[in-house]
Copies of this chain bind each other. A is one copy, B any other.
Amino acid sequence: MAKRPSDDEVRERLDHVAEALRAVPGRSVTELDPASTPGYTRGKKEGRSTLEAIGGRMSDLQERLFAEGRTGGTRSVLVVLQGLDTAGKGGIARHVLGLVDPQGVALRGFGRPTPEELEHHFLWRIRNALPPAGRIGLFDRSHYEDILVPHASGTADAAELDRRFAEIEAFERDLVANGTTVVKAVLWVSRDEQYTRLLERLERPDKHWKYAPHDVDVRLQRPAYEAAYDEVLARSSYDVAPWYLVPADHKWYARLAVSALLLRALLDLDLTWPQPSFDVATELARLEATR
């Protein structure tokens, strides 16, 4: 059996992956090869066992984070996932968060705003969905939709977008300052792979529910969305909450990459088991007396 790598070794490997994925402001999403596997040279099969190994570590750390939250701690982790239709955001939710205890997870998808949501500031529904202390939250789409959609459809003016960027930055800096680690990832799928995945949704009756005619409309706007994503990556990647750009034509790789980013975030928290708030010897004696 292979020796279990030390935390330092794991951290070094994860840093390597994170480095390779970190969005470079000014570099366009169109320059990315969506079929590449940055930071990972082994293939799909080994990727699966790496994911399992990551899962074991992640599960242990998630429990520590949960325990911390149950004993007065206020830290949490928030994974923000963005990407075009079929990029695989739902699969990440399932296969990455599926590695840990469902009790420790807070998952939230953001679709087109409801009438109630539209009556509020665009960050209102986001604030209401933040992970509680000790949890790992995952946003399937997020406040960035409020930049991407108007940007791509040309319905917002530049001043409004500037204001939203500024508000998002202030919001995220505040989140981080209050103990939430923010991990932001864009999953990037190629035009061809998107075609294949949409076709599958139309050909398989068990996938019809995942398809909407709107998906083809949006597909036709791809250049506008590329420009919108370029703008988001260029303007909202800062020290405390950088963007990662994850090639997503290989589902196994995208899952591995996001779980690597999440594990790295958890390791950085240096999580220990909480100290008991009671005297262990006294409690052992009390328990013994009830035997």
Contacts and interface: CB of A to CB of B under 8 A. Distances in A.
B287 A198 contact: yes
Contacts of A150: none
A66 to B, nearest CB: 8
Interface string A203-216: 10110111111001
Interface in A88-120: 90, 93-94, 97-98, 101-103, 105, 107, 109
Interface stretch (A17-25, A42-50, A273-281): A273-281
Copies per assembly? 2
A163 interface: no
Nearest to A104: B94
A124 interface: no
Interface residues of A, number: 44
Interface in A254-291: 273-276, 278, 280, 283-284, 286-287, 290-291
Interface in A212-269: 212-213, 216, 219-220
A211 B102 contact: no
A209 B287 contact: no
Given A273-B208, A278-B213, A287 B202 contact: yes
Complex A-B, nearest 9 residue pairs according to Cβ-Cβ distance, in ascending order: A67-B209, A208-B276, A94-B101, A97-B102, A216-B286, A206-B273, A209-B274, A213-B278, A93-B103
